[in-house]
Amino acid sequence: MNKRPLSVTLISLLIAAAGAVGFVYHLTDLNLRHPFQNDVVWAGLVRLVAIVCGVYMLLGRNWARWLAMVWIAFHVVVSGFHSFPELAVHALLFVVFAYVLLRPRATEYLRARRVE
């Protein structure tokens, strides 16, 4: 079996933790009488996607890597409508994620799991 690179482990845990913390944080905004009033349901779904990405990358699923890249790219686009520092941080995170998740060792680990 191919050993998981530490970089993939760290990114996976970071994404899953960010999703879990964000999900719990946004639960405080949930109003069951009007759940779609302030986009809390959509924010919760985005957080759940992060949790799924993190968990399944730890399990070595290649599709989760690509979903994680889409997830962070989505954040770059959305932060473009907010402040410049937020855009810069998300863009930097995108570059870090791309560097870590598209390296040969990560690719080898994630693709090998598909074959097994």
**Whether the predicted pLDDT of 11 surpasses 60:** yes
pLDDT, tens only, 48-74:
999 999 999 999 999 999 999 999 999
What's residue 14's pLDDT? 93
Please name which of 90, 87, 65, 84 lies closest in space to residue 12, comparing C-alpha atoms. Answer: 65
- pLDDT number for residue 32: 61
Q: What is the pLDDT of residues 31-41, one digit of tens each?
A: 666 656 667 77
Model pTM score? 0.82
State percent of the chain over pLDDT 70. 85
Residue ranges per domain, the chain?
Answer: 6-115
Whole-number Å distance between alpha carbons of 30 and 27:
5
